[in-house]
Structures are given as structure tokens and as C-alpha cells.
Amino acid sequence: MASVPNGLRYTKEHEWVLLEDNIATIGITDFAQESLGDVTYIQLPKEGETIGKNDPFGVVESVKAVSDLYAPVSGRVAEVNQPLLDAPELVNQDPYTDGWMLKVEVKDLSDVEDLMEAKEYKEYIEEQG
């Protein structure tokens, strides 16, 4: 069973969000990385770019598939996890800490309130099988 930490919010596209003040750290879930297999390449926006909620903001390539990443919040990209771009396998090793992708200055905090809590996300991925 995939790890689903409490204290994060989750999307149906299997991204997670950690909100600290108005900064959202974003990554993909353990379920997502398990489904993808070994991640070989990650494309992310540049710092300073604006992303819109539910819009594609990047790409993850793995040995099994190429998947778009969808923004769980709207805002300005404050930081990109540069080590991840050089070592995309960090997503497989630890998607919730070293494998984070972006930090975004959130435009509207209600974007985060719309996301699933851990319990809801666990139920969702169990239904997905």
C-alpha cells in the first residue's frame, strides 16, 4: 500500500501539497511514483513563472509512461527543486521529502481547501486499485 502522510492535501491526479503560510510545496504521491515506475526525466517550470490551478505545469517521464503534472493551486513559482532535475530518481526514493518538485506562492488559499485530506485520498486510491 502506498504511503499517504497526514498533514498534506492531495489531488485526483496524484499530486500532494504542503501549505506553509502562503507557500505550497508540491510533488507527486507515492502511489503516482509506484504507478510510473523508475522516473528518468522531469520537466518543471522556471522560478518566477505563473501556474494556474488544474493547468499542466510539467512532465514526468518514466520507463513505463510520460505523464503531465497538473497544478493543484494557482500562483507564482517561488522555487524549483534543482537537485531533482539532475537526479529524477529522488521521486521514486522519497516523493514526500527529497522528491518535492515546486514551491509556489499561492494566489488563493481556498485552492488548497478544495483538495483531499489523507483519509479521503487513501479511499480514492483504494477505489482506483
Hey, what amino acid is at 24?
A
Classified as helix, coil or strand, 13 is: coil
58: CATH: 2.40.50.100
**Which grid coordinates belong to 12?**
485526483
Flag whether the pTM goes above 0.85: yes
Each residue's pLDDT expressed in tens, for the chain with a length of 129 residues: 789 999 999 999 999 999 999 999 999 999 999 999 999 999 999 999 999 999 999 999 999 999 999 999 999 999 999 999 999 999 999 999 999 999 999 999 999 999 999 999 999 999 987
What is residue 47's predicted lDDT score, i.e. its pLDDT?
98
User: How distant, in Å, are the alpha carbons of 27, 118, 119 from that of 6?
Assistant: 15, 5, 8
What is residue 2's predicted lDDT score, i.e. its pLDDT?
86
Q: 127 lies in a domain? A: no
Q: 20 lies in a domain? A: yes
Q: 46 lies in a domain? A: yes
What is residue 51's predicted lDDT score, i.e. its pLDDT?
98
What is residue 49's predicted lDDT score, i.e. its pLDDT?
98
Total tally of structural domains belonging to the chain: 1
Q: Give yes or no for a contact between 101 and 81, defined as CB atoms under 8 angstroms apart.
A: yes
Domain of 25 in residue numbering reads as: 9-106
Distance CA 8, CA 43 (A): 23
